A and B are shown apart, each in its own frame.
Chain A
């Protein structure tokens, strides 16, 4: 039976190819959308939990995009006086403030990394973010010669890493957070300041000439607001200090979510239209087939095919096209997903966590099953009709194409 199905599909290769392609395109769009949606929703959810603060405060003269600060690991050298930590902490409604110092590694032999990466120094006394990140590891705190490596940093292997000619022990590789932490290296603030002053970082000297010694500087303040205070109100109070710029993390996430939802609606619309078109194509093909190939079905009946055999032949063709289209579509969709991701990341930073292998497998199997079932359903009625053809239909027919 299988070779009859195979020959029938290959003989009508133009029809088969067009049906397969239309199925593959709609599967590809929907699969890419599924993967992208998983990554963004997971990134948004984890990012909300892992950003670690309601408000991010940066120097007023820092020329930065909020999304870039929050979701990329690009080096970001911006500095302000460390005294702002105390000033901000005294604003009504501020529960706690955590200072961070940014510096960077270099794209050179002095470092294990392939490209320049943001180094984040955290204040071990006031920090509340690191213990949450270390939750899944056995460590509770980080020593001055230890670092934490973001989930998406490549280039490190083993237990040690070379950063600006200093050897650090890798305390842990963090789980994905969907934020800039995934692309950054974290270390105690004193270690970060020491590296900032390192001979290799000579081009950072312009900052120290402008702002003074890094020992008295910080880059950002993570601010947590009391539950009984409005975040907007606290943000307004910080802004009123004039020398600081405020990034409201929830507002940034909300904006990204709105933008992503619009994108999903557009892509989903395109995917749904492609899917409807391919289902109609498949249904039309098999509906016409029931009549066009009446002689062939009659011949099979005369030669001993039961009604079930005929249904298997017809549904087998539809199933093959549905499953084949789904599998090709998954490959196509994976490429499309990577392309969308690269394209969007080049345009805008947003929280994203790569879907897990189990989610990918579930997506592949789900898509294959759904489209195989669609194939079967579209051929069901024609198969039922063809099953009614009497074997005597074979008598007196011409050769069958």
Chain B
């Protein structure tokens, strides 16, 4: 078991954004999280990705309780074991495409991954954009850069927050194909989405409503 939440709750003041969420994520699995706006999808993604600490409950990574980990230990897990694709690509405007992809490697003090980053960008069709700045890219290209950045250190879990948002159907399908190719390589994919096409591809779908898990469905049944 790679990641497990046991009755996690997240409150801001008296308001509970999420309550008693239990979820297990295995290697090679793809989990789609869906729900209406404000239901707590992104908060759940943040909790699972160690971007936020739960108010109550336990979150286990490789069967180890994460609440006992220091801030730096959590940062190291995010850096080496998790990959993030945010709703907006969030590239650093002052860095080139290649340097943006290399940010996690720089933070991990792994300076030898330049060649790998170049190959990944070539595979994603960005061979001629390595030196470009993010402002010179289309939204689809930016998302592919964000994907390359998330995958550079070969993480075990990839968290994606509405990765096809604002994309036309053709581009959304290509991004979807890229992401759903990852579980076949043994990686877990957790994504927040409203896109029925992506939900159909996921091995499980979790619907969040009013801060609670309302429904599970297996692949193709949602």
Cβ of B75 and Cβ of A397 under 8 Å apart?
A: no
Cβ of A304 and Cβ of B88 under 8 Å apart?
A: no
Query: Per-position contact with B for A17-43: 1 when CB-CB < 8 Å, else 0?
Result: 000000000000000000000000000
Q: A303-B79, A303-B104, A399-B142 are in contact. Are A7 and B91 (CB under 8 A)?
A: no
B99 lies within 8 A of chain A by Cβ? yes
Q: Chain A: which residue is nearest B94 at the CB level? A: A11
Among B87, B88, B135, B149, find the residue whose CB has the most chain A CB atoms closer than 10 A: B88
Interface of A is mostly: helix
Cβ of A1 and Cβ of B106 under 8 Å apart?
A: yes
Cβ of A399 and Cβ of B72 under 8 Å apart?
A: no
Among A12, A303, A401, find the residue whose CB has the most chain B CB atoms closer than 10 A: A303
CB distance from A311 to the nearest CB of B (A): 12
Residues from chain A with a CB closer than 8 A to the CB of B89 are 399
Cβ of B46 and Cβ of A309 under 8 Å apart?
A: no
A295-B90, A399-B90 given; 15 more Cβ-contact pairs under 8 Å: A1-B109, A3-B99, A3-B102, A3-B106, A10-B94, A11-B94, A302-B78, A304-B75, A304-B78, A305-B79, A307-B72, A391-B75, A395-B46, A396-B42, A399-B89
Q: Choose from B52, B102, B135 the contact partner of A390 (Cβ within 8 Å).
A: B52
Cβ of A391 and Cβ of B90 under 8 Å apart?
A: no
Residues from chain B with a CB closer than 8 A to the CB of A299 are 90, 92
B80 lies within 8 A of chain A by Cβ? yes
Q: Choose from B106, B142, B161 the contact partner of A395 (Cβ within 8 Å).
A: B161
B86 lies within 8 A of chain A by Cβ? yes
Q: Chain B: which residue is nearest A11 at the CB level? A: B94
A400 lies within 8 A of chain B by Cβ? yes
Task: List 13 A-B pairs, Cβ < 8 Å.
Answer: A4-B103, A7-B95, A7-B96, A8-B94, A296-B92, A302-B78, A303-B149, A390-B51, A394-B51, A396-B87, A398-B88, A399-B134, A400-B91
- A12-B134 Cα distance, complex, nearest whole Å: 15
Q: A7-B99, A392-B52, A397-B86 are in contact. Are A303 and B92 (CB under 8 A)?
A: no
CB distance from B7 to the nearest CB of A (A): 21
- A1-B95 Cα distance, complex, nearest whole Å: 12
Query: Per-position contact with B for A295-321: 1 when CB-CB < 8 Å, else 0?
Result: 110011111111111000000000000
Binding site for B on A (CB under 8 A): 1, 3-4, 7-8, 10-12, 295-296, 299-309, 390-392, 394-401
- A306-B75 Cα distance, complex, nearest whole Å: 6
Residues from chain A with a CB closer than 8 A to the CB of B107 are 1, 300, 303-305, 309
Q: Chain A: which residue is nearest B149 at the CB level? A: A303
CB distance from A389 to the nearest CB of B (A): 12
Q: How large is the interface on B (under 10, 10 to 19, 20 to 34, 35 or more residues)?
A: 35 or more
- A392-B12 Cα distance, complex, nearest whole Å: 14
Among B79, B102, B135, find the residue whose CB has the most chain A CB atoms closer than 10 A: B79
Cβ of B86 and Cβ of A394 under 8 Å apart?
A: yes
Residues from chain A with a CB closer than 8 A to the CB of B174 are none
CB distance from A171 to the nearest CB of B (A): 63
Cβ of A395 and Cβ of B87 under 8 Å apart?
A: yes
Q: Chain B: which residue is nearest A295 at the CB level? A: B90
Residues from chain A with a CB closer than 8 A to the CB of B91 are 399-400
Q: Choose from A4, A301, A396 the contact partner of B106 (Cβ within 8 Å).
A: A4
Residues from chain A with a CB closer than 8 A to the CB of B161 are 395-396
Among B51, B94, B108, find the residue whose CB has the most chain A CB atoms closer than 10 A: B94
CB distance from A91 to the nearest CB of B (A): 80
CB distance from A363 to the nearest CB of B (A): 35
Residues from chain B with a CB closer than 8 A to the CB of A3 are 99, 102, 106
B14 lies within 8 A of chain A by Cβ? no
- A381-B193 Cα distance, complex, nearest whole Å: 40
Cβ of B88 and Cβ of A399 under 8 Å apart?
A: yes
- A1-B107 Cα distance, complex, nearest whole Å: 7
Residues from chain B with a CB closer than 8 A to the CB of A391 are 50-52, 75, 78
Cβ of B94 and Cβ of A12 under 8 Å apart?
A: yes
CB distance from B116 to the nearest CB of A (A): 16
Residues from chain A with a CB closer than 8 A to the CB of B64 are none
Residues from chain A with a CB closer than 8 A to the CB of B135 are 399
Residues from chain B with a CB closer than 8 A to the CB of A399 are 88-91, 93, 134-135, 142
Residues from chain A with a CB closer than 8 A to the CB of B88 are 396-399
B214 lies within 8 A of chain A by Cβ? no
Q: A392-B46, A395-B161, A399-B93 are in contact. Are A306 and B71 (CB under 8 A)?
A: yes
Contact residues of B between 123 and 172, Cβ < 8 Å to A: 134-135, 142, 149, 161
Residues from chain B with a CB closer than 8 A to the CB of A396 are 42, 86-88, 161
Q: Chain B: which residue is nearest A301 at the CB level? A: B75
- A229-B87 Cα distance, complex, nearest whole Å: 93
Residues from chain A with a CB closer than 8 A to the CB of B24 are none
Among A3, A12, A392, find the residue whose CB has the most chain B CB atoms closer than 10 A: A392
